[in-house]
Structure 1
């Protein structure tokens, strides 16, 4: 037992040193803890393989509070959704690019919930559920950029579901996005407008 305590103390002293080797070891330990303990634990607790996602586009951005202008598209009417149905929906003001979304299992997703799913794109899509029966259908809330429903969101199978949005933490995802903004087309760079 003494040997373990001695080793622990030496390691602690090394990590507290103000040196490049201790900094690199601390960085590696933090990475290992996040990748192999934190995220797997979070996945287990939330029931989804992707418990945190960063909003990378403006497809769920609202130009005003609520859904009044969003309902300019007939897609909602075609699915039996009226403006009064939106009163109890979460995320009344949508999402902004850079928001971090906490995700849970989508097993109990209902119309109006925001779901995350594999849509045949590089990254999963985060859109509002507008139809649920033998399959799922979604639509992005942003009426300026998402006037039409994407073909990949018209017939979503249960296998494509990753989860549903529980809550958001605004803008902290920019800590990651800032490194990739230069590679985007000029019209897709920066904050949502």
Structure 2
């Protein structure tokens, strides 16, 4: 194929994708967005952030403080956290100290286990669970977590190994994860 024919094909394709307002063009646009996001953008962000899970959508309410405000939330949860040696003043200094909600998105940075601190929110994998867990560290020796909204610790939250940990939450973006949550609920994956 000659350069002129290739150039003409390129511009015809470009106009179809970018400028045409048809159902076929919309479908191609959607496919391109998903493919480029999954195979280009997501891996690139992962390389930059040093994590296999650089962006995670929150799919449960285990870290939700239910808009209670810190004082009310702390009164309801004080006993659980004091059993780990944490006071309210400590908790107020933690990142994401007001929790986060289902549908929020967290940006995750890969981090050495030696850099983790009590109160950090980490993302880690658990055997036989499809989605990674996003919970707060309550102990470093051994590494253990707890969901802020959970009454107690779940069985998989104690003795977390460094190999399970994908990174630490560094940025919270509210609501934009609802696209993923909605799709997962639609297809029965939640």
Scaled by the length of structure 1, the TM-score of the pair is 0.81
Displacement of 1:94 in angstroms is: 0.4
Residues 178 and 14 from structure 1, CA distance in 2 versus in 1: closer, same or farther, beyond 3 angstroms? closer
**Structure 1 ranges of 4+ moved more than 6 A:** none
Structure 2: runs of 5+ lacking an equivalent = none
Is the helix fraction higher in 1 or 2? Answer: 2
Scaled by the length of structure 2, the TM-score of the pair is 0.82
**CA displacement 1:72-123 (0-9 Å, x = unmatched):** 21xx334332222123211121011111111111323211111111133231
Q: Which residue of 1 aligns with 2:40?
A: 37
Counterpart-to-counterpart distance in 2, 1:102 and 1:92: 16
In structure 1, the residue corresponding to 2:136 is in which secondary structure?
Answer: strand
In structure 1, the residue corresponding to 2:168 is in which secondary structure?
Answer: strand
Residues 159 and 184 from structure 1, CA distance in 2 versus in 1: closer, same or farther, beyond 3 angstroms? closer
Equivalent of 1:103 in 96, 104, 108: 108
Structure 1: runs of 5+ lacking an equivalent = 186-193
Q: Please say if residues 128 and 139 of structure 1, whose CA atoms lie closer than 8 Å, have aligned partners that are also in contact.
A: yes
CA RMSD of the aligned region, Å? 2.3
After the TM superposition, which residues 26-65 of structure 1 pair with which residues of structure 2 at under 5 Å, given as runs? 26-63=29-66, 64-65=68-69
Number of matched pairs = 179
When structure 1 is superposed on structure 2, of 124-133 and 78-87 the one drifting more is 78-87
